Each structure stands twice: as C-alpha cells, then as structure tokens.
Chain A
Amino acid sequence: MTRHVTAILFGPAALWGMVATAGLAMTWADADAWGPTDRRAATAVGSDTCRRCHPDEHASWHDSYHRTMTQPAEAALAPFAGETLDYLGFRATMTRNAAGTPHVTMQRLTDDGRAGDVVLDVDVELCVGSHRYQQYVARFDRPGDRHARWRLPVAWHRGARRWIPMGAAFLTPDGREGDLDDALRHVTPYDDNCLFCHNTEPAPGLRPDGSFRPTVAELGIACEACHGPASAHVARHAGPMRRVLAGIVDAADAPEGSIAHPGKLDAGRQVDVCGRCHGQRIGRDIDRILRHGDGFLPGEVLAEVSRPILRDAVVGDGPAGQFEVRFWPDGTPRLSAYEYQAHLQTPCFDDGEGLACGDCHTMHGDEPDMQLRADYDEARVCARCHEPAELSAARARGGHGGHVGIADVDCADCHRPRITYGLVQGMRTHRISIPDPATAVGRADTPDACTQCHVDRDAAWAAAALAGDEVVASGPSRIAADLLGGDPIQRALAIDALAQPGATLDAQTRAAWLADALADDYPALRLMAWMALGAVAGDDDALAALVAAYDPLADPAAREPVAAALAERLGPGPLTADPIREMLIAGRFDREIWIGE
C-alpha cells in the first residue's frame, strides 16, 4: 500500500526528473549542440520563424525602415488617386487598376498641354524605400533587353508629400524637353541592381539566355540579412534542453556558432555586416553574384567576396579616376552610399579593433529614424577613448575651436560635418576626422567643418580661429562660393548648410541665399532649396505662401516668375555686389553623378 501511494504521488515527478537529467547530460555532451555549425549549408527561415523565440527583437525590427525597404505594391505610401506629374514634356498619372493595385501611366504632352501618346502603362509590383522617398518597380518589356522588372521614372517624396521624377532624386541636370530617353533616364533594371541591398538573401538567378529568375528569402532587410540564414540555428534550438543549458554554456562568451550576432562581432566583422549594403562595392566574381548572390555570410570577411569602391577604384577596363567625383580629394566619400568606406577610413575604427557601427546605432531600439542607441550620446561615445580635459588644450582660448562649453555644439558638429549628400539631403560623414580648415584655404574643391556652420566665413578665417590666432577678416563665404560655383554636391551641401538652424547667418539672409538656388539647373537642388526655404521661412505666412507657390519641378516658364518674386521679397542672393559672383557662376563645372544615395 505504502509503495503504491508513493508511486502514484511521486512516480511521475521522479520519472520526469530522470528524463530531464538524462536529457541535460546528453545535450551537454553532444558536440553538435555546441560550437560552430556549417552555416553555409543553412537556409533562410524567414522573420516569422524568428519571432517565435525573439518577439521583442522582431517587434523592433518590424517598426524599422529596414523591414519596409522593399514591399509589395499594396504597401505604397503614395495615394495613387489620380495625381499627375508633368516633367520634361511628359505626364505621369498615378492611379489604381480595377483590383486596387497601384498603376502608373506616362504620356507625351502635346503642344497644347494635353496628354497624348502613352509611353508607359504599368501596374506597380514592388515599392522600394519608405523613409525619405519611395520608388516603384514594375514588370514590363523593353526592346532588346531581357530584364523583366524596372524602376519607374517617378517616386513619392515623403517629406515634400509629392511626386518627383527620379531625376530630382539623383544628381543629374534636367533633361531635354520632350526627349523620351531623358524622361526615362532612370528607368533601370531591378533584378540585378536594386535587388541586392533592398532584400534578404537575394539571388538574381542569371540564366544562360541572359534573363533573370530572381529569388529573395524575404522582401526588405529582414533578420537574416544581418544574422545570416538561420535554419541551422533553428534546428539546434528546437530542443528545450539545448535552450535551457544555453544560459550556462553560452555564458562563457563562446560564439554561439549557428548564427551571427553582429553585436558580438569585433568591429571589423560588425562593420562588414552593415557595409554589405551601406558601402558600394565591386564583386570579385560578378558572374557568380549575378547567378547566386554575393555569397557573403554575416560574421565572415566582406573583402573575401568584394572590395569597397574607393576614390582610386577602377572597374574592369574602366578609365582611371572613374569614381573620383564621388569622393573629396582626401578620399572622404561625398555620397551616403559610401558610409562603409567612410568608417573604414576613420582612425577610431582602428583597423577593425575600435569603433563599430553598434557603438552608436542599434537595429533593435525604439527609434527607427536614425536607429541610434537609447543611450546614444556623442560625447559619451567619444569619451570612452578621449578624455575631454586633455583634448588639445581644450580649456585654452581657441582650444578645440573655442567650442568648449557651447551647449549646441557637440563632437559630431566638428568631427563629423555634414559633407555627405544622399537622398535629396545633406548628411553627416561617417569618417571621423580632426578639422583642419588650413588644408582648404585657397581650394574650391574641399569643404571644411568650420564653415559648414559658420556659413558667412571662409576657410582662412576658420584656420586662423582654430589655431587661436587673432581673428582675421573673412573673405567671401565658402558656402556662398560653393552655392554659386561648386559642383552639384557642393551646391547641395551649401543648401543643406544654410537650412540648418545652427548656421551663423540670420534666417532672412539664409533664405535669400537659398532663393538663389531655385534657379539651379539640377532639379534635385531646386527641390532641396525649396524644402529648405520652407523650413527657414518659419512663421512668416506670406513668405510661406510664396514658397508654396513655387514648384521646383515645373517647367522654367512656370517656376521662374515665382522664383523672381521670391528673390525680390527676400533680397539679394550671396555676393551680389561682388564681381566674384559672376565669375563663380561662369566657372561652375557641372558633373553628372548618376547616383542618388
């Protein structure tokens, strides 16, 4: 009787205890449960599978612009409710078909301004981007070309809440009125181009006949874009014994082995994960890449499958210096598509032993806009290695540029100035450097951090001020010179500098200078200047109404009178009384840059 009672009350628990103990022991001893797996043999499982065990990480990713990098047409941000965009003698009309799918029709405008011949009539298949502007992809045939999906020539700009031609997103001059090739200039293949950095585990699937059968594990940048294919990880953690033991065994900081955790990689490998998309590269085996994808596995060395495009890079038999225009003379990238290269050149990166992307950014935070860490603070990050009190006589006059103690100036303002263009805006460079305006004195091709905020000064003034010398009179403003005579990127960054609330000139003068840029022959720069002017106009309702009446993408006959009215309202542009103005404008050298980010 007693044994019977004991067996009934304690038997199941004892049996479970034996099973659990045996399971723990076997799992502990199982070499396959620990250490590296063959991650190259793993396949993607999709973010829904990841959510089962990582709901918080999934939620933060779900709120990010990485997830919405590429989406089905149904996710379009634009209304597609019959809006029209006239540009270069063509009219794009955005509607929806009977099934509600976004649709774009492009027609040639007749002499009397009516829509005539249809040159493009397509359903949208994919939306690309969702943060600054959204591009659209459709499937249609183009004679003599085997690509199936193409980027459309119009995009929806979120900030401006309007349609723009892709020519106004990229730094290219206006095309010829009525020229179909110019109107479709940015209609480019999707499957061997955008596919790569806008999707997870992309493979273009190049076939012998030159056509593509592209595959992606998931639209947009999902979990496995940064962590690698996860089937081996999922299989390993399917057993509960492996999972409960992980807290003890993995606590020894041994690599988990079945998946990459970018936050636990050293700086070099971590930056490689981000650099795969945030830095344009040249593949080592183009044919293989076009068939199967780039072959990069997060956690491995990116340089094994590609090399970053730097200032002196050459592709194949291409001409020397073909990428020079994308970099400043010192090699610092001028475009946001080269943030990886910028970081590689940062002394703080220390050849992969120092600063990593994760020191400032997190992919699983609450702030999707810049994805900065919750505890992000520029001074705190820098102070990990740099003792503020010891920074180049920071307490002395002129030490550290005299900015010590100025609340609105932080490390980034001087060491990561806004000298990068991308996505119709200026951005901070990711190359951390020590400002040295003396190197920019007498040069028209080099920015300096000081005059990016001191927009009314030149580099010589900045060099003297930084050195702690007596203040010297400034020559013509460097920003003004760039605005009038710089190349398109310099003009864009001059507009961006004038739009910043911390710029040293008063708002009225900055607005007048920005109005000058409304006459630029690059639509992207007119768009930037128009948006900047709207921001600088502030509470001046009359000015805001005048700015609203200006359409940066209208034809010259429509926009120039409004620009003239704005100039009259705001006063003279930069250097109006200086003979150097006409010289700068005449010497403006326009270089087309066929890239938008």
Chain B
Amino acid sequence: MSESSHLRLSLATVAVFAAMGLWLEAMFGLRLSGWVDDPLRREFLRLGHAHGALIGIANLGLSWAMSRLGTPPAWAARVRIAGIAAAVCVGLGFFGGGIWHAAHDPGPLVLIVPAGAMMFVAAVVAVAMVRPRGDDQSRPNNDS
C-alpha cells in the first residue's frame, strides 16, 4: 500500500466512523427503539464509532511517523495494511457485536476486535522499533 493510499484510506475511515457518530446522535435524538432501550447496544455502537474514528486518526499518525522515521519499505507497506485493517476490525467488531448481541454480552462479531487490536499494537510497535537500513537512513520514507 502506498503512502497516499494509506492517507486516503485513513481519512475515509475517520469519515465513515465519524458519520456513524452522527447516526448515533440522530438515533438518540429521535429516541429510536432498539437504541435508547438497549444499553448494551448503545455502548457497543459507541465503542465502534469511537475506536474506528480514533484508530483512523492514529493511522494518519502512523503514516506521518513512518515518513519521519524512515521505516523500511517492506515494513511500511504492511504496517499500513495492518493499521487500516485494525481500524476496520475494531470499529466493525464493536459495531457488529452491538447490533447482534445476547442479553448481557455482545455478539460473536466482537471477537474480531482483539484481532484488530493486535494488528494495531503490532503496527505501532513496529513503527517505533524498526530502524531504517543503513542505506535508507539519510532519507525519509516517502513511498514504498
């Protein structure tokens, strides 16, 4: 994944999950049943909205950090995929777990949240720890 694609997808992710927040506010304002009367669903949809948007923003940070730190291209390409996948898995995992849920627990889609979280943590740690190769140290990573 190129840096520009990563940036576009990151912004798209923020836009989608921010729009979800708008939708949640509308449901609250309209007192829609299935929303106001279902605390567990409300909680998990909010979690999906917040986590998806925040990890989308974090992807912008990852992209900026990789360009500043000169992350090797082989790492950078996969970090971008992992970062976007993390936003989708965490955001939609909470969202789906809240839409289809048991009486007191989220539904099975919530199980993709830990997978997304692992990818996100791995991506952040990788950006922080992986240093550019000797011949790459002099220039920032602008593309891969």
Contacts and interface: CB of A to CB of B under 8 A. Distances in A.
| B partners with A | yes
Interface of A: 1-2, 5-6, 8-10, 12-14, 16-17, 20, 24, 53-54, 56, 240, 243-248, 250
Q: Which of B78, B79, B82, B104 has the most CB of A within 10 A?
A: B104
Given A5-B75, A5-B78, A53-B104, A244 B119 contact: no
B108 interface: yes
Given A9-B78, A16-B114, A248 B122 contact: no
Interface string B115-133: 1101100110010000000
A250 B103 CA distance: 9
A9 B126 contact: yes
B107 interface: yes
A54 B111 CA distance: 21
Contacts of B105: 53, 240, 243-244, 246-247
Interface string B85-126: 100010000000100111111111011101110110011001
A16 B115 contact: yes
8 contacts: A6-B78, A9-B119, A10-B119, A13-B89, A13-B118, A17-B115, A245-B102, A248-B107
A273 B135 CA distance: 78
B30 interface: no
Interface of B: 39, 74-75, 78-79, 81-82, 85, 89, 97, 100-108, 110-112, 114-116, 118-119, 122-123, 126
Contacts of B89: 13
B39 A56 contact: yes
A247 B79 contact: no
A247 B101 contact: yes
A252 to B, nearest CB: 12
Q: Is the interface of A mostly helix, strand, loop or mixed?
A: helix
Q: Is the interface of B mostly helix, strand, loop or mixed?
A: helix
A244 B74 contact: no
Contacts of A244: 97, 102, 105-108, 110-111
B129 to A, nearest CB: 10
Nearest to B114: A16
Contacts of B122: 8-10, 12-13
Contacts of A2: 74
A392 to B, nearest CB: 35
Nearest to A56: B39
Contacts of A246: 102-103, 105
Nearest to B109: A244
Which 4 A-B pairs give the minimum distances between C-beta atoms?
A: A247-B102, A246-B102, A13-B115, A243-B105
Contacts of B107: 244, 247-248
B82 A9 contact: yes
A8 B75 CA distance: 10
A13 B119 contact: yes
A245 B112 CA distance: 14
Contacts of B110: 244
Contacts of B115: 13-14, 16-17, 20
Contacts of A1: 74
B82 A24 contact: no
Given A8-B122, A13-B116, A248 B108 contact: yes
